Amino acid sequence: MYFGIRAFADDEGTIYSNSVRLTSANYDLLEGIKKILFYLKIKCNDIKFQINPKAKFGKVYYLDIRDLEKYCNQIGFTYPRKKKLMKEYVNKIKTRRRKRLLKAQ
């Protein structure tokens, strides 16, 4: 259903251990993506920017998506390397969560 975000993330997304970062020179595009993520109840941070002399207008905006599990299940990636990396991070999160629950008992 959200193939546009998936296609954008395949091209302009980076996966970290605790987030997916979408980067663009177009603030309004990221704002639209953020609204869709809000509708899907996928947590993300505010849109921020960083100065980049190589960028056309001198700065680049980015949006960090924090809820990796929901993002993976509802949107995900089609690019094989990113898809694999995302699943690895989600599995690590699940393992950490299980360990915490076992310690609490």
Domain segments of the chain: what residues? 3-104
pLDDT for 1: 56
Instruction: Look up residue 79 and give its DSSP letter.
Output: S
Q: Give burial (CB, 10 Å; 0-12/13-18/19+) of 42.
A: buried
pTM of the complete model = 0.85
pLDDT tens-digit readout, 84-96: 999 998 888 888 8
pLDDT tens-digit readout, 22-66: 999 999 999 999 999 999 999 999 999 988 777 777 889 999 999
CATH architecture of 3-104: Roll (3.10)
E-strand ranges in the chain read 13-15, 20-24, 48-51, 59-65
